């Protein structure tokens, strides 16, 4: 197995802790399922959030999935004029038997507009 990087993103409808939890859990469970990733396969997860998100940390929402001792970290996305608002991005590092071409990068909700070239 090799370590693979899997991208994804989701857009919150509103900036609230409940919406963060729902959106992040949906994104991660879909990403894990589509790529056949288990908790034991995970190495680390990096989250970014656009500067207009203030309600909660994406990692706090991810912890509801019982990720145990998986290192999670959050950072702020750069503030680009005209960028899609209320977006949480994720970069998951995980062991996988899949090739780079077989990895499914997951974009949910309004974030599907971000990467039409690789969104599943």
Could you list the active site residues? 7, 63, 74, 77, 89, 107, 115
Number of alpha carbons in the 13 Å side-chain half-sphere of residue 105: 19
Distance separating alpha carbons of residues 103 and 99, to the nearest angstrom: 7
Helix ranges restricted to H, 1-120? 17-34, 58-62
- Identify the DSSP state of 99: -
């Amino acid at each position: 197995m090799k370590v693979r990087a899997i991208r994804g993103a989701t857009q919150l409808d509103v900036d609230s802790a409940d919406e963060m939890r729902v959106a992040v859990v949906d994104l991660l469970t879909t990403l894990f399922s589509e790529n056949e990733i288990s908790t034991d396969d995970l190495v680390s997860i990096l989250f970014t959030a656009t500067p207009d998100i203030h309600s909660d940390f994406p990692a706090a929402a991810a912890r509801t999935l019982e990720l145990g001792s998986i290192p999670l970290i959050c950072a702020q996305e750069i503030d680009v004029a005209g960028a899609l608002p209320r977006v949480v991005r994720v970069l998951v590092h995980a062991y996988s038997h899949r090739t780079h071409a077989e990895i499914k990068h997951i974009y949910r909700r309004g974030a599907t507009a971000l990467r039409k070239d690789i969104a599943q």
